[in-house]
Amino acid sequence: MIQSVDLDAIRAARQSLAGLVDHTPVISSLALSEDSEGGVVLKAENLQRTGSFKIRGAMAKLASLGPEVRAGVTTGSAGNHAQAVAFAARHFGAPCSIFVPTGAPITKIESSRRLGATVVETGPDLRAAVAAAQEHAASEGMTYCAPFDDVAVVAGQGTLGLELIEDIEDLEMVIVPVGGGGLISGVAIAVKSLLPEVQVIGVQARVCSPYAGGAAHEGPVLTLADGIAVKYPGVITGPLVARWVDDIVTVDEDAIADAMVMLMDRAKLYVEGAGAVGVAALLAREVAPSRTGTTCVVVSGGNVDLGVLPGLIRRHENMMGRRLSIVARIDDRPGSLAKLLAVFADGNADLIEVEHIREGLDLHVRETGIRATFEVRSAEQARSLVESARAAGYDIHATSKLSVS
């Protein structure tokens, strides 16, 4: 049983994980290196088994239990830790009950169920789910597996740091997402025990940033980075973060969205909001990477809620001027809509959707309103299309955020 977290404990945890946890790749990022004026690489834990780094801590915890594991395990988790504990429990043949906050991402809930766990939605936030899991563990004689505030879990997460030491010769900075602090604590202990000059920087979502001095919220926290929306530092991890971590910064929701899309578009990596906050910190200039050595960003998870993606894509296209939305008045006669749309078709715009609107506009009795959205190549093309439509006699207004007025 691990009693404290140090380099020896992390090395011992790594031995217990051999063959069970992937040594994930370090991927160079030309886009980030150019934008940040430094050499930047990504530690792709989104490619880890169960889709995140959490399997390291969960496997280490269950391995530390010995015969006790057969009585079963419980946990409270927003998703990634749940999947990791479910996977580990299946490996060890242990019964497993997972308690998640009401409204937790369905992708993560279903993944836990497929791994054989019993999943119970309870309470408005992670704190309530943890309390329910602890009560269940006590009543059923099972072991509660903390998402982060456990020395065995921290030691397991620290195995990622050992991989960084082995894989990056000139490592000078590590940027790590921070929720409860288990990952950054383990990584910082591993890295700084061997290379004390390496900087370890944590990143939190600004709306929920207790390690950066943010106020605690009551009830659910609305953020793309739901996986790190932990409201209080851990009893164990809080002091470890204070001792071992050089700095904690925060990023807003726009920066997280930009980072998720950038990783899909430029790095071809499918990364959830919590896993993308380190990249967001670079893009938003919250962290300046090392100018002489390599900066490694830990991309901690890839379990993206599919329902988020359409909004991210629409936002990105609007910001890049690739989507044009218009409102127009046309004669309420057969063929009028086709003539309007032909103006945009002739300008090589691709129609996405169109609808009639008869409320909220001051229309003549023989007029109708049209709202249409087009895919375009650039803001310049959008402006040209609107000018062409106006020149053809249409009363038209563009509603795209960055396209035209």
**Average pLDDT over every residue of 286-312:** 91
Q: If DSSP codes are grouped into helix, strand and coil, which group holds residue 73?
A: strand
Q: What is the CATH number of the domain that holds 387?
A: 3.30.70.260
Handedness of CA 137, 97, 106, 236 (dihedral sign): positive
Residue 163 has a pLDDT of 98
Which pairs with CB-CB distance under 8 Å and at least 24 residues apart come from 16-23? 16/59, 16/60, 16/63, 16/64, 17/56, 17/59, 17/60, 17/63, 17/156, 17/159, 20/49, 20/55, 20/59, 20/91, 21/48, 21/49, 21/55, 21/56, 21/59, 21/159, 22/47, 22/48, 22/49, 23/163
**Greater model confidence, 203 or 330:** 203
Q: Is the pLDDT of residue 109 over 50?
A: yes
Q: Based on the domain organization, do 179 and 223 belong to the same domain?
A: yes
Q: Is the pLDDT of residue 122 over 80?
A: yes
Give tens-digit pLDDT for 313-359.
888 877 777 889 999 888 888 998 999 999 999 999 999 999 888 76
Q: Is the pLDDT of residue 297 over 70?
A: yes
Q: Based on the domain organization, do 26 and 158 belong to the same domain?
A: yes
Q: Is the pLDDT of residue 401 over 60?
A: no
Tell which of 279, 304, 329 closes a domain.
304
Q: Based on the domain organization, do 184 and 287 belong to the same domain?
A: yes
- Contact assessment for residue 125 and residue 231, using Cβ atoms and an 8 Å cutoff: yes
342 found inside a domain: yes
Tell which of 84, 111, 144 closes a domain.
144
Rounded Cα distance between 181 and 154, Å, is 9
Written as one letter, the residue type at 38 is G
Rounded Cα distance between 155 and 211, Å, is 20
Q: Is the pLDDT of residue 393 over 80?
A: yes
**Average pLDDT over every residue of 296-316:** 88
Domain that holds residue 249: 7-53+151-304
Q: What is the CATH number of the domain that holds 62?
A: 3.40.50.1100
Residue 359 has a pLDDT of 66
Q: Based on the domain organization, do 194 and 46 belong to the same domain?
A: yes
Residue 400 pLDDT class (50, 70, 90 cuts): low
Q: Is the pTM of this model over 0.95?
A: no
**Greater model confidence, 321 or 90:** 90
Task: State how many domains the chain has.
Answer: 3
Range with the poorest average pLDDT among 4-13, 252-261, 395-404: 395-404
Residue 105 pLDDT class (50, 70, 90 cuts): confident
Q: Based on the domain organization, do 275 and 158 belong to the same domain?
A: yes
Residue 402 has a pLDDT of 40
Give tens-digit pLDDT for 44-74.
999 999 999 999 999 999 999 999 999 999 9
Give tens-digit pLDDT for 132-158.
999 999 999 999 999 999 999 999 999
**Average pLDDT over every residue of 112-137:** 90
Average pLDDT score, the chain: 90
**Average pLDDT over every residue of 160-169:** 97
Range with the poorest average pLDDT among 75-79, 248-252, 368-372: 75-79
- Of the chain, the percentage scoring pLDDT greater than 70 comes to 94
Tell which of 144, 159, 192 closes a domain.
144
Residue 361 pLDDT class (50, 70, 90 cuts): low
405 found inside a domain: no
Rounded Cα distance between 140 and 228, Å, is 29
Range with the poorest average pLDDT among 128-142, 236-250, 308-322: 308-322
